[in-house]
Every structure is written in structure tokens, then in C-alpha cells.
Structure 1
């Protein structure tokens, strides 16, 4: 079963310096039917104006994943990490007992477009942790490349949850059939372009809750960039 969530059904906030689309309930946007899926709590599709961003603010007990689509995102945190995140760089911050961080547009001239994603952890009050890797376009081209997993397998980042996240780029005749476990839940987010999943068309910003499927066939991509989440078979996030 593939339950489509159209891009124009998402929550929207335009603050001038920040244009944000919320897949799930976040901040002033609340929909009782959209409060997460399995351990996936937040997918915010953010575009930040040049020289602006999110100043220092705290988090705890959350797995926070940033995925830059265009531009550059400047990260600083209370663990002493500082980095410039660009397309291809994958960042994961495990907030644990607490961390303060900022995320600013790293350019004074161009906007930055990125996804911020929150996953509920399966342990609380652990030491905060920061990880970052680079995954080239070639590694994602025409396939689903594992970028986050519980055990950091195949060079992926290690998350504190029974969750795997894949990224892929698809264009023209590139296609793949992903073997799914019908006893797991999956979530698709289309970040750019358009693509077909099992014969259904998805455009940038569209998503889908996926249940009881054994094969996910991606085809007819048009400059598509997608994320696929492999999740526990729970309907809603559980706060431990």
C-alpha cells in the first residue's frame, strides 16, 4: 500500500528569510493526521535567504539529519564542530543529553536549500555525537545508496534507531527495483525532479507512506533526487 502525501498538502511557513514546507506537524503547523510516521518525526524542506539562518539553539534526545540540495549550510555546535555542508555532504547529529547548534546560510549572495529531518532515537541521555561524510553523485546515480544505518554499514553514518536511509539520483532510463520487507514501513520523499514509484508519479515535495510492499520499482526519473526511509512497522513515533 502506497499512501501519497502531495507537496501542496504540506504545512507552509514563509518568514521572508525562511521559506519552509513541513511534511509533518512542526512549529505553528499542526495536523493530527500528520504527526510523523514510525520513528520519522520531521521532514522540513527549507530555503534560507543569503546571510540568514537558525542561530544557536538547543536540542536533546533527537537524531537530526541535514541534507543540502543547493547552496552551502554553515554548521557550528557546542561539541566544537564547525563545517560547511554542501550537496553531497551528509550530516547527522545525535543530540543525546543536549547540544546547542546553529545552521546558517554559508553564502552572502545565494540561498541555501536543504532538508532537515528528525528521527526519534531508541536510547535517551547518551553522549552527543556528530558525524559527516561525503557521498558523490556517482555513488547515487541510478541506485539507492545507503547513507544512514544503525551500525554504520558500508560507510554510512550510524543512527541511534532501527532506521536505514537511502539516497538516489534518477534521470531518463535509469531505474531500480528495491527489495522491500513487507513487515517494515517505508517513507519516500522526493527532493527534486520527478519519478515514478510502482507506476505512480511523484514530483518534488511529494512523499508517501509505504506499507506491506515487497518491491519498490523506481523509473521514469526526470532529474530526480530522492530519499527512502526504511522504518520499524509502527504508525507513530514513540517517545521513550
Structure 2
């Protein structure tokens, strides 16, 4: 495909996101999702879903199917239980990266009920879980389903942008969990007050402020829930006047071309 040549920075504010609210779920969607469809807002680069979800204790998503999607889940608060049809079961919590390859087909559930697992040390609690779930298409359809999770809290504590999930060759051998997309990588920065990080340069970037507040060079203040879509630009600096956590996708291709 031909890389984009016109630099563009598109800021999307938290309050403008599409929303799904039911008794046990408060979900905010950066892109079209479920019954919310906007033909002008279906993806950016390779990223199709960026859902910011809060799930009540003892509740969650019952077993449901996925196919041909790389699904990365990042927990910000609380814990989330994953169980799937190929035998994986795990508790996801802040600082633990998780990826599910849906491939030729998989069933899974996600619930805020870690205390119900056999032998679990977790006591029943009343804390909602908040997590961001992100979907990118794989390079090939019909691949073998899979699952991976990895504790990367130590890397995050060192500061800077940490590769969390990647299919790019440059991250081979690093701590990032693998995804089956050779043109995409997710970074996370857990920033302390006074910290500064520099964004990568790529044809497509997606920045999501998961927690706190940051200042983006050339654009000003970004608050929790704000997102920025970069096209044909990058290298800007982010600075934090207060503790913050940001998620950044670097992408070298886009859907449909």
C-alpha cells in the first residue's frame, strides 16, 4: 500500500465516545461497536476496537464467539477472569498483558469474579474492574486460536514507552506478547509527575489516555478517556504533570489498503 503523505492529528475527546450502559456494564467505544455504527468511524490504521469497560463485581461477558481477530486486554483497576474453549483460564490484573488469538474460531468469557476460581486466593470483593480491550485484524485468516499472558509490571516501573503486544520484527526477543499482525505494536507508559515520553514515528498512531492527564506537544492537554489519531506523523512528546497511563498503537498499514 502507499503510505499516507499528509500529516494529520485528530483529537477525540472522552465525552464524544459512543456509550453502552446496562445494569452491570459501563462501556465507552472509540470506534463503531455493536449497535453503535458510524460509517465514518470504523477504525484507525489496523485498530478496529478500543473499548473502555467497567464491569460490576460478579458480572461480566458470558461465553461468546470470536473469529479472525487479535484481541488485547489491558486491565487498569481490579481483576478480570478469562476462560476459553481451548482450555485457558487466567486472572488478568494491572501490569499483566493478555492476548487472545481468535483465529479459526474460539469461545470465551470475561468476568469480574476471580474469587470463584477453584483454589483462588482472591476473596470476594465489591470492586468494579476497569479494562481497555483492543482488536486488530491478523495478517492471515483461519490461523490456530491461541492465548498468551505475561507480567510486565517491572518494565513499566522503569518508565518510558514499553512494548506490550507486538507482531513487529523489531520487538522480537523483548517482553512484548506476540500478536499475529506484523504491522502493529502496542506500547504502554505508566508516567509519574514530571515524566516525558516521545511517541514513535509511523504512518498511523493511536494514543489513548487511560488514566490521568498529559500534555501533547503541539496540541495541549489531554484528559482521561481522550484519544488522538495520528496520520503520517509522530515523534511528538508527551509530558505528565500528574501520574498518568497512556496506551499507544504504532501501525504501518491500515485496513482496506
Please tell me whether residue 226 in structure 1 is matched to residue 246 in structure 2. Answer: yes
Unpaired runs of 5+ residues, structure 2, are: 1-7, 114-123
Correspondences of 1:182-197 after superposition (within 5 Å): 184-197=203-216
State the secondary structure of the residue aligned to 2:236.
strand
Relative to structure 1, the CA distance from residue 130 to residue 221 in structure 2 (aligned partners, 3 Å threshold; closer, same or farther) is farther
For the residues of structure 2 that align with 1:60 and 1:4, how far apart are their CA atoms? 31
For the residues of structure 2 that align with 1:189 and 1:178, how far apart are their CA atoms? 12
Please tell me whether residue 92 in structure 1 is matched to residue 112 in structure 2. Answer: no
Paired residue total: 235
| Map of 2:198 onto structure 1 | 177
State the secondary structure of the residue aligned to 1:114.
strand
State the secondary structure of the residue aligned to 2:15.
helix
Relative to structure 1, the CA distance from residue 179 to residue 64 in structure 2 (aligned partners, 3 Å threshold; closer, same or farther) is closer
Correspondences of 1:1-240 after superposition (within 5 Å): 1-106=8-113, 108-136=125-153, 139-150=156-167, 151=169, 153=172, 154-161=174-181, 162-181=183-202, 184-199=203-218, 200-234=220-254, 237-238=255-256
What is the TM-score when the length of structure 1 is the normalising length?
A: 0.93
For the residues of structure 2 that align with 1:35 and 1:179, how far apart are their CA atoms? 23
Unpaired runs of 5+ residues, structure 1, are: none
- Backbone CA RMSD of aligned residues: 1.6
Relative to structure 1, the CA distance from residue 141 to residue 169 in structure 2 (aligned partners, 3 Å threshold; closer, same or farther) is farther
Contact persistence 1:142–1:175 (CA under 8 A): no
For the residues of structure 2 that align with 1:16 and 1:23, how far apart are their CA atoms? 21
What is the TM-score when the length of structure 2 is the normalising length?
A: 0.87
